[in-house]
Amino acid sequence: MAHTQKKVVIVGGGFAGLNLAKNLQKRSGYHITLIDRNNYNFFQPLLYQVATGFLEVSSISYPYRKLLQGKKNINFYLGRLVEILPAENKVLLDAGEMEYDYLVLATGTKSNYLNLKNIEANALPMKTLDDAINMRNYLLQQIETATRVTDIVEKKKLTTTVIVGGGPTGIEIAGMLAEMTKSIFPKDYPELTDHAGGIYLVDSHHSLLSAMSETSQTYTYNKLQDMGVNIKLGARVTDYVDDSLMLSTGEIIPAKILIWAAGVTGEVFPGIPQSSYGNGNRLRVNAHNTVNGFSNIFAIGDIALQTSDPNYSNGHPQVAQVAMQQGKNLAHNLMAINSNKPLKSFTYFNKGSMAIIGSKKAVADMPKQKMHFNGFIAWVMWLFIHLTYLANHRNRVKTFYNWMLAYFTKDQVLRMIIRPSSRT
């Protein structure tokens, strides 16, 4: 029967791609190849905790080959997509080529620097594990440097952090750094007492967490202010020159540490015409996640722009729940195509949204139930839900242990600068 199996090639092993593969592999008649440029899956919502030294890399990541053990109709392929050849039903990869019956693009997005070249050259992004490790090393290195300099102005610049982007990622990084500044840095870096710089959170919108309820926005703003974060709303970044961030308001913030958590854009795939792309380089798809202009190429997750859902005429939010639900729905539809059954249009079920601000401080909105939570109960909800989304039991145990250790000790022990040496 192997020769009759449909070849399903999935590019990208995030929430969307992995959920599609797991749902589809349960049925016979398909051979699935999961392609990713990394050999591991990682839990992106917790990247900031790796970047700030609260979690180990292994707590939020797991090898694909280990995840897929025992699943006979799934292969993993380590590689990067170079070009799509739709006429030949083939993809070109950096290490070969592959034929497909169905191609699924689930590549997620990358940071969008809004054509600001100096920002792109100097800002720290937060999209991959490499980004998180680099950010941790950079943050710690700047602080170590600050302990050695004698010039007070330079010392403050080295320890001033600007986070651009007032969404969940920006909020969570700002809150984590604010808590570290109060509970950890005074003990680790006595040289910086009374001479450390501040934490700035900048967003071009007039509110934080613009996609959440006004109650959540107000609570978050007040709590971050209480924690010492300087919030600049309605301020657009214009440039970054000589270690100083320039804003549209005319304000200039001297800072050596610039974290970019504002804006994402999709990959552009050679072989897919420009007419198939929408805002943010997201691929336009129909109600079944078929890419416009094709019959056997699909897009799911953050890269997909689907406007057929009545409640999301401008496209779905780029969050994990959408990706997971689209992966499951597409698995159903690929099976329906094979058995000549009607396809199911995708409708997003919004289970709610949440963001953590700090210890015992979080917000959660549940629009279907018309409920809102903040404070300790929202914090517990955030912890529980994020634990359940981790890849396996091992990751959950390690993450829970680290969280509890940090909670009771107000500290953690993962603040190490580790840089692989380069061989010549």
Fold category of 117-262 in CATH = FAD/NAD(P)-binding domain (3.50.50)
Between CA 63 and CA 68 the distance in angstroms is 9
Which of these, 391, 259, 370, 383, lies nearest to 324 by C-alpha position? 391
Say yes or no to pLDDT of 180 above 50: yes
pLDDT score at 423: 55
pLDDT tier at 422 (50, 70, 90 boundaries)?
Answer: low
Say yes or no to pLDDT of 424 above 60: no
Between CA 124 and CA 50 the distance in angstroms is 14
| CA 144 to mean position of chain CA atoms | 28
pLDDT score at 393: 85
Between CA 102 and CA 145 the distance in angstroms is 52
pLDDT score at 394: 84
pLDDT digit string, tens, across residues 114-129: 999 999 999 999 999 9
Between CA 298 and CA 31 the distance in angstroms is 16
Ramachandran region of residue 53, left (φ > 0), alpha (ψ -120 to 50) or beta? Answer: left
Residue type, 190: P
Look over the chain and give the mean of its residue pLDDT values, rounded to a whole number: 92
pLDDT score at 155: 93
Residue type, 94: D
Mean pLDDT to the nearest integer, 199-226: 96
pLDDT digit string, tens, across residues 275-333: 999 999 999 999 999 999 999 999 999 999 999 999 999 999 999 999 999 999 999 99
pLDDT digit string, tens, across residues 23-70: 998 888 899 999 999 999 999 999 999 999 888 898 999 999 999 988
pLDDT score at 178: 95
Superfamily of domain 2-37+79-111+264-338, CATH level 4: FAD/NAD(P)-binding domain (3.50.50.60)
Which of these, 245, 243, 259, lies nearest to 177 by C-alpha position? 259
Please check whether the two domains, 2-37+79-111+264-338 and 117-262, share a CATH topology. yes
pLDDT tier at 263 (50, 70, 90 boundaries)?
Answer: confident
Going from N- to C-terminal start, the domains of the chain cover 2-37+79-111+264-338, 117-262
Structure tokens at 94: 């950096």
pTM: 0.91
pLDDT score at 6: 93
pLDDT score at 185: 87
